[in-house]
Protein backbone atom coordinates (compact mmCIF):
# COMPACT_ATOMS: atom_id res chain seq x y z
CA UNK A 1 0.00 0.00 0.00
CA UNK A 2 1.43 3.34 -1.08
CA UNK A 3 1.16 6.56 0.87
CA UNK A 4 2.74 9.90 0.14
CA UNK A 5 3.47 13.22 1.77
CA UNK A 6 4.58 16.48 0.18
CA UNK A 7 6.27 19.39 1.94
CA UNK A 8 5.80 22.44 -0.27
CA UNK A 9 7.55 25.80 -0.32
CA UNK A 10 10.37 24.69 1.99
CA UNK A 11 12.86 27.56 2.32
CA UNK A 12 15.87 25.55 1.20
CA UNK A 13 17.48 25.07 -2.17
CA UNK A 14 16.59 21.84 -3.95
CA UNK A 15 20.26 21.10 -4.49
CA UNK A 16 20.98 20.98 -0.76
CA UNK A 17 17.87 18.94 0.02
CA UNK A 18 18.74 16.37 -2.67
CA UNK A 19 21.97 15.50 -0.82
CA UNK A 20 19.91 14.25 2.13
CA UNK A 21 17.13 12.68 0.07
CA UNK A 22 19.58 10.54 -1.93
CA UNK A 23 20.76 8.87 1.29
CA UNK A 24 17.36 7.42 2.24
CA UNK A 25 15.99 6.37 -1.15
CA UNK A 26 15.18 2.64 -1.15
CA UNK A 27 15.89 2.16 2.56
CA UNK A 28 13.46 0.80 5.15
CA UNK A 29 11.62 3.45 7.15
CA UNK A 30 13.43 2.64 10.41
CA UNK A 31 16.81 2.82 8.68
CA UNK A 32 15.82 6.13 7.07
CA UNK A 33 14.83 7.52 10.49
CA UNK A 34 18.26 6.60 11.86
CA UNK A 35 20.11 8.16 8.91
CA UNK A 36 18.12 11.40 9.19
CA UNK A 37 18.45 11.61 12.96
CA UNK A 38 22.26 11.57 12.84
CA UNK A 39 22.71 13.64 9.67
CA UNK A 40 24.38 17.02 10.13
CA UNK A 41 22.60 18.56 7.15
CA UNK A 42 19.93 21.16 7.79
CA UNK A 43 17.57 19.54 5.29
CA UNK A 44 17.46 16.33 7.37
CA UNK A 45 14.95 17.85 9.80
CA UNK A 46 12.46 18.77 7.07
CA UNK A 47 12.89 15.45 5.25
CA UNK A 48 12.39 13.59 8.55
CA UNK A 49 9.17 15.51 9.20
CA UNK A 50 7.89 14.71 5.71
CA UNK A 51 8.81 11.01 6.11
CA UNK A 52 6.91 10.83 9.40
CA UNK A 53 3.91 12.40 7.68
CA UNK A 54 4.03 9.80 4.88
CA UNK A 55 4.16 6.97 7.45
CA UNK A 56 1.19 8.47 9.32
CA UNK A 57 -0.71 8.75 6.03
CA UNK A 58 -0.01 5.05 5.36
CA UNK A 59 -1.33 4.09 8.80
CA UNK A 60 -4.53 6.11 8.32
CA UNK A 61 -4.99 4.62 4.85
CA UNK A 62 -4.65 1.10 6.31
CA UNK A 63 -7.15 1.84 9.08
CA UNK A 64 -9.67 3.19 6.58
CA UNK A 65 -9.26 -0.04 4.60
CA UNK A 66 -9.99 -2.08 7.73
CA UNK A 67 -6.49 -3.51 8.17
CA UNK A 68 -3.44 -2.98 10.31
CA UNK A 69 -0.07 -1.76 9.13
CA UNK A 70 3.28 -2.67 10.62
CA UNK A 71 5.67 0.27 10.27
CA UNK A 72 8.61 -2.16 10.07
CA UNK A 73 7.29 -3.37 6.70
CA UNK A 74 7.42 0.07 5.09
CA UNK A 75 10.11 1.11 2.61
CA UNK A 76 10.90 4.55 1.17
CA UNK A 77 10.01 3.66 -2.41
CA UNK A 78 10.24 7.15 -3.91
CA UNK A 79 11.67 10.38 -2.62
CA UNK A 80 12.50 13.42 -4.70
CA UNK A 81 12.94 17.17 -4.47
CA UNK A 82 11.58 19.63 -7.02
CA UNK A 83 12.32 23.32 -7.24
CA UNK A 84 9.67 25.65 -5.89
CA UNK A 85 9.17 29.34 -6.63
CA UNK A 86 12.18 31.59 -6.08
CA UNK A 87 11.83 34.66 -3.87
CA UNK A 88 13.64 37.54 -5.55
CA UNK A 89 15.26 40.13 -3.32
CA UNK A 90 17.80 42.87 -3.95
CA UNK A 91 20.88 43.94 -2.04
CA UNK A 92 22.75 47.21 -2.28
CA UNK A 93 25.95 46.99 -4.31
CA UNK A 94 28.81 49.32 -5.20
CA UNK A 95 28.21 52.64 -6.96
CA UNK A 96 24.47 52.78 -6.23
CA UNK A 97 23.64 49.54 -7.97
CA UNK A 98 21.45 46.67 -6.80
CA UNK A 99 22.43 43.02 -6.90
CA UNK A 100 19.75 40.32 -7.09
CA UNK A 101 19.52 37.69 -4.36
CA UNK A 102 17.55 34.56 -5.11
CA UNK A 103 16.03 32.85 -2.07
CA UNK A 104 15.21 29.42 -3.38
CA UNK A 105 12.44 27.10 -2.23
CA UNK A 106 11.74 23.44 -2.88
CA UNK A 107 9.00 20.82 -2.77
CA UNK A 108 9.95 17.55 -1.01
CA UNK A 109 7.93 14.43 -1.89
CA UNK A 110 8.21 11.15 0.05
CA UNK A 111 6.37 7.97 -1.00
CA UNK A 112 6.39 4.92 1.27
CA UNK A 113 5.24 1.45 0.27
CA UNK A 114 5.10 -2.01 1.85
CA UNK A 115 8.04 -4.32 1.18
CA UNK A 116 5.98 -6.92 -0.69
CA UNK A 117 4.65 -4.44 -3.24
Structural domains of the chain, count:
1
Closest-CA residue to 18 (of 112, 115, 104)? 104
Instruction: Enter the pTM of the model.
Output: 0.92
Length of the chain: 117
Q: Give the pLDDT score at 47.
A: 97
* pLDDT of residue 116 exceeding 80: no
Q: Return the pLDDT at 68.
A: 85
Determine the pLDDT at residue 25. Answer: 95
Residue ranges making up the domain that contains 10: 3-114
CATH number of the domain encompassing residue 18: 3.90.470.10
Write out pLDDT tens, residues 26-82: 999 999 999 999 999 999 999 999 999 999 999 999 999 888 889 999 999 999 999
Structure confidence by residue, pLDDT tens digits, 66-75: 888 899 999 9
Amino acid sequence: MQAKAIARHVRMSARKARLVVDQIRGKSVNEAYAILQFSKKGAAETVNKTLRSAVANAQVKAQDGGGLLDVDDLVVSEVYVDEGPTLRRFRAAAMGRATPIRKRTSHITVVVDTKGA
